[in-house]
Amino acid sequence: MAYTVSMVAGLRVLGFESSCDETGVALVETRGQALPVLRSQALFSQIDMHQAYGGVVPELASRDHIRRLLPLGRRVLAEARLGLNDVDVVAFTQGPGLAGALLVGAGVACALAAAIDRPVLGVHHLEGHLLSPFLSADPPEFPFVALLVSGGHTQLMQVHGVGRYTLLGETIDDAAGEAFDKTAKLLGLGYPGGPALAALALQGDPTAYRLPRPLLTQDNLDFSFAGLKTAVMVQARRLAESRGVPIHGLALSERADLAASTQEAIVDVLVRRAMAALARCGLRRLVVAGGVGANRQLRARLDQACASAGFRVHYPELALCTDNGAMIAMAAAMRLQAGCQQAQRVYRFDVRPRWPLDALTIS
Ligand code: KG4
Ligand code: ZN
């Protein structure tokens, strides 16, 4: 049976995130049409486990989600002083992501929902990121342009309302997060590379190397970061050969210059494209979401560009930029408030490792 928010005054939504290398659980509560409130959340990052391999190992990720989901769920309910029976809807990340990892979250969510005879709602991971700024102290209002920058996606979306998204442009190859991660790996910074590269960049000169800004001359809103990665590699190899050392053996200041120049190129492209998207849509509000949205240089440059154009820019709280359960429970709660009919007592737990965001509907 379909289950809509209008049936009850308030709903408690328990959300599970397990699409990649973070296990997240959270409880969000709705009151009528007011913005849903986060009651409690718990997160376990698998970064330490994957670090030894230099990247996410899907099978290890799935197995670890199995270990973490229920204990985290118990913690979330205990913190909110609730029992499982107090939950009205169970939400989970249905995709996109690693198939095995998604299946674990979906299986746990559906089993719990079946046990308490409540509906389940599969949530799109990127919709979770996109709506996560609604949990911040400065929530946006619809409509807006969203810049989604994660490890797997780089997209510009026109957001008309919950579940109503139009794709404006996206990367034709690597994602922005991937560009950070691959360059970090090249410079011997380990995994995940984004925060490490950003930290090293603080000590470097962003103008030291002239790196390409691919596609910027083209009249569209797409991105390309694969060429940038190659250009950094060429520069780093040239420098390493001239010093007679491997790339990892370059002086800290040289690696810092490469890191700063790379970050500058990525940020420059993201800022220019985001501003162009706002102009094209005739909108004055930008929302930035996804792991790369935690990047301080990106935030500073977007703040500057939006302030001088008279635009507003909204971010999730720093801790909610990378994957977490709160954004999944929040997206589910907002979908239910918007009249979504997709929460059902059907416990099939099918997942969608590939799933375009603009294919979503509310009904
Ligand atoms: O959204 P997210 O947690 O996971 C995906 O859905 O992919 O994003 C992870 C990505 C990684 O590529 C990571 O290196 C990047 O976000 N990231 C950052 C920063 N923090 C995380 N990139 C640049 N600067 C940061 N501070
Ligand atoms: Zn994500």
**Maximum pairwise Cα distance, the chain:** 71
- Is residue 7 pLDDT above 80, yes or no? no
Q: Higher pLDDT residue, 20 or 349? A: 20
13-60 tens-digit pLDDT = 999 999 999 999 999 999 999 999 999 999 999 999 999 998 899 999
Q: Whose CA is nearest to atom 8 of ligand 1?
A: 291
Distance from the CA of 129 to the center of ligand 2, in angstroms? Answer: 7
Neighbours of 342 (CB within 10 A): 22
Q: Whose CA is nearest to atom 7 of ligand 1?
A: 151
Token pair in block for residue 209: 């190397």
User: Mutation test of ligand 1: which of 191, 322, 354 has the most ligand atoms closer than 8 Å to its C-beta?
Assistant: 322
Same domain, 58 and 183: no
Distance from the CA of 10 to the center of ligand 1, in angstroms? Answer: 33
CA-to-CA distance for 317 and 296, rounded, in angstroms? 12
Distance from the CA of 218 to the center of ligand 1, in angstroms? Answer: 26
Q: Which atom of ligand 1 is nearest to the CA of 192?
A: 14
- Is residue 1 pLDDT above 70, yes or no? no
Q: Which atom of ligand 1 is nearest to the CA of 22?
A: 3
- Domain of residue 228, residue span: 143-315
69-88 tens-digit pLDDT = 999 999 999 999 999 999 99
Tell me which residues have their CB closer than 6 angstroms to ligand 1.
20, 150-152, 177, 180-181, 192-195, 198, 290-292, 294-295, 322-323
Residue 137 lies in a domain: no
Handedness of CA 116, 119, 120, 124 (dihedral sign): negative
Same domain, 155 and 288: yes
The pLDDT, as a whole number, for residue 8 is: 53
CA-to-CA distance for 180 and 259, rounded, in angstroms? 9
195-252 tens-digit pLDDT = 999 999 999 999 999 999 988 888 999 999 999 999 999 999 999 999 999 999 999 9
Distance from the CA of 16 to the center of ligand 2, in angstroms? Answer: 13
Its pTM stands at 0.95
**Paired strand residues for 281:** none
Residue 196 lies in a domain: yes
Same domain, 52 and 167: no
146-194 tens-digit pLDDT = 999 999 999 999 999 999 999 999 999 999 999 999 999 999 998 889 9
Q: What is the DSSP string of 22-52?
A: EEEEEEEEEETTEEEEEEEEEEEE-HHHHHT
Same domain, 238 and 106: no
Same domain, 9 and 101: yes
The pLDDT, as a whole number, for residue 363 is: 87
Domain total in the chain: 2
Say whether the peptide bond before residue 58 is cis (omega within 30 degrees of 0). Answer: no
Beta-sheet pairing, 144-149 with 285-289: parallel
Q: Which atom of ligand 1 is nearest to the CA of 175?
A: 12
CA-to-CA distance for 193 and 198, rounded, in angstroms? 8
Q: What is the mean pLDDT of residues 122-127?
A: 98
Residue 211 lies in a domain: yes
Structural domain ending residue among the three candidates 296, 315, 334: 315
Same domain, 15 and 158: no
Distance from the CA of 234 to the center of ligand 1, in angstroms? Answer: 24
CATH code of the domain covering residue 25: 3.30.420.40
Residue 27 lies in a domain: yes
Distance from the CA of 195 to the center of ligand 2, in angstroms? Answer: 15
Question: How far apart are the two ends of the chain, measured CA to CA in Å?
Answer: 13
